[in-house]
Structure 1
Amino acid sequence: MTKDEIEKKIIHIFEDQFEIQDPKTDDDLREVYEFDSIDAIELLREIELLLGVQLTRDEKKAAMDIRTIDDIVKYVMAMDKNHCKN
């Protein structure tokens, strides 16, 4: 997947699953959208569905520093690359 494809899919997830309309890619998810740990767990599940893989515990831990949609896009690109090797 390209960066643009991933970004569009992530924005769609935010609009569809979290009911956040027109999210900005550089907004702090916690501050602007009150994104919490339960939301983060749901988002990781959506990422697994998007990638068609189950993320490892270490891969999920790596997501704990995510603050923006831009961060999520970079994370998904890295996970996609890692899982394409396997």
Structure 2
Amino acid sequence: MSFLWAVIAGLVIGVLARIVLPGRQPIPIWLTILLGIVGALGGNALAGALGVRDTGGVDWIRHLLQIGVAALVIAVVSPVWGRRT
């Protein structure tokens, strides 16, 4: 069940990260999900290092960090993927 939640979270975070980035990203949806999962894990690690991983209520800072890391990863991978195909 946690694998399913990781895929769902990766999809949501990846799509939000693509919305934040300007222009078009020529990557497929499966890569968006994978990079969203990477962004979620990286954002969690960064939030833990900053001491904002678990707060009372909704962890908005952690979620913003997850989207930011995913956007950074997508911004790096997208041009490489575009040249590849």
Q: Which bin holds the TM-score, normalised by the shorter protein? A: 0.3 to 0.5
TM superposition score normalised by structure 2: 0.37
The answer to which structure, 1 or 2, has the higher relative contact order (CA under 8 A, 6+ apart) is 1
Question: Rg: which structure is higher?
Answer: 2
**Which has the larger helix fraction?**
2
